[in-house]
Amino acid sequence: MQKWIYDEFKHCGVDYSQIQQAEKYDDRHRKFRDFEKEFKGMIDFLELQDASDMTLIDLGCGTGAATIFAADCFKAVYAVDVSDVMIEQAKKKLGPADRNVHFVNAGFLSYNHKGEQADIVMSKAAFHHLPDFWKQIALLRMNKMLKLGGLLYIHDVVFHFVPQEYADRIEAWISGLGESAGEAFIREIETHIRDEFSTFHWILAGMIERAGFAIEKHKSDDAFLAEYACRKIREFDHYETE
């Protein structure tokens, strides 16, 4: 591998390679998230009627917040994460019938999808782990994983305010979240803002479009959490480094 390639296995911010992080992840996140509701929300947002013939790639699957529900309605699910301990937690939640789920210890920049191109690529709360330059490379790689006409779903913290307002916006967001999720989560959000790589909407939107996608839907209720439904409209002949 070239020496200039970003090492995505070195975690920025919250270190999900730590077993303690992986073990407490679900309990902490269930204080302010309903994984099943989120999954149904994604299916509605993408306007999917019947996914039983579809293949889904979940990049940054973590402890399987979406993977475990996807297993019940997709033909095949590829659940990818750079943290083996997060993947171990996800595996524990699958039943014996969920043989359609394939876990892969890799990441946005290293996962090589071997099967036929997927119908859906999704990433929830994980894309902000890459700096912007590498987000663009990862989006090109996602394009390659998807069928022409397939959908990319991104759900993440993406800033939707004018840059001058950053301090007040971030303070208000943190204090609002602290009320529902508690002190430990406030520390996590501070780490997110300081050490991870969430970016502005207009930057992410530009990168998505340059990677051969059309943004069909985009939503952010609080100017921080955002969902994107993007259709692959272009194949590229040449990509990058494998």
Ligand X SMILES: C[S@@+](CC[C@H](N)C(=O)[O-])C[C@H]1O[C@@H](n2cnc3c(N)ncnc32)[C@H](O)[C@@H]1O
213 lies in the site for ligand X, by CB under 6 A: no
86 binds ligand X (CB under 6 A): yes
Contact between 81 and ligand X by CB under 6 A: the answer reads yes
Secondary element (H or E) of residue 194: helix 183-195
Please list every residue from 10 through 39 that binds ligand X, using CB under 6 A.
16
Q: Which of 68, 70, 76, 82 binds ligand X (CB under 6 A)?
A: 82
Which of the stretches 119-127, 141-149, 200-208, 223-231 binds ligand X when contact is defined by CB under 6 A? Answer: 119-127
Distance CA 12, CA 3 (A): 19
Q: How far, in Å, CA of 178 to CA of 165, rounded?
A: 20
User: What is the rounded end-to-end Cα distance, in angstroms, of the chain?
Assistant: 8
**What b/e readout covers 186-221, taking b as 16+ CB neighbours within 10 angstroms?**
eebbeebbeebbbbbbeebbebbeebbbeeeebebe
Stretch that binds ligand X, among 56-64, 112-120, 175-183, 211-219 (CB under 6 A): 56-64
Burial of 88 (0-12, 13-18, 19+ CB in 10 A): middle
3-state secondary structure (DSSP) of residue 190: helix
We find the least distance from the C-beta atom of residue 164 to ligand X, in angstroms, to be 28
Report the residue number, 36 or 165, with the smaller CB distance to ligand X. 36
Q: Is there binding between residue 119 and ligand X (CB under 6 A)? A: no
Of 54, 56, 60, 204, which lies in the binding site for ligand X, with binding defined by CB under 6 A? Answer: 60
Residue number, nearest CB to ligand X? 62
Q: Which of 42, 56, 57, 65 binds ligand X (CB under 6 A)?
A: 65
In Å, what is the CA distance from 40 to each residue of 47, 84, 98, 143, 194? 10, 26, 18, 24, 31
230 touches ligand X by CB under 6 A = no
Contact in structure between 160 and 201 (CB atoms under 8 Å): yes
Q: How far is the CB of 237 from ligand X (least distance, A)?
A: 25
Residues 113, 124, 135, 232: which binds ligand X (CB under 6 A)? Answer: 124
Q: Which stretch in 61-69, 112-120, 168-176, 228-236 sits in contact with ligand X by CB under 6 A?
A: 61-69
Structure tokens at 202: 């207009």
